[in-house]
Amino acid sequence: MMGAFGSVDDLDTGSSRANGCGGTSAGTRPVKGSFGPPSVPVELMDFLRAQSVRETAKALGLARGTVHRLVKGYWPSDSRKIMEAWSRCKGGNSSVASSWFLRRIRPGGTVRHAGRDFTAPRLAARTGQMMAVARSLDGGLLAQTLELPAERLPLMPVADMAGGI
């Protein structure tokens, strides 16, 4: 097909020296953007350093090579897979072993749960407020404030605070 500027083949010569162009490319390949945080989150790095590469890879569900590179300081520009694995791992390592119950803080900073009184430092200042209370994995009680930012307090039986049961 011939037109005012020559044939279609004359216009589509490519960018190689064999085709006679200046060697530049006008390709419009998309630039790979970064996804996720720009570096390893501090809590993830603490987790990586706390145990062996094999244990960490098993806990996160990642390859050992990936975990080894993370420990050495490599952080990929697309970290979605790593962050998803970290979110799953954090969700499974909860410090709470039961469901939460709402309890009102009684005068003196005590919380009544399962027929016993419990308390924690600085709880007397919250008299009248509601807190969420749950059993922790070690068998103790854990209380959490309902307002943001949430604060978690380990609860102790009232007799323990007085010097013994």
Quick: pLDDT tens for 13-42.
555 555 555 555 555 655 555 566 788 888
110, burial (CB in 10 Å: exposed 0-12, middle 13-18, buried 19+): buried
Neighbours of 161 (CB within 10 A): 15
**pLDDT of the residue at 165:** 46
More confident residue, 163 or 48: 48
Confidence check: pLDDT of 164 > 50: no
Q: If you average pLDDT over every residue of the chain, what do you get?
A: 77
Q: What is the pLDDT of residues 68-115, one digit of tens each?
A: 998 888 888 888 888 888 888 876 555 555 678 899 999 989 999 888
Alpha-carbon distance values, 65 to 53, 54, 56, 57, 61 (Å): 9, 10, 11, 9, 12
| pTM exceeding 0.85 | no
Alpha helix segments (H runs only) across 20-61: 42-50, 53-60
| 3-class state of residue 26 by DSSP | coil
| 3-class state of residue 102 by DSSP | strand
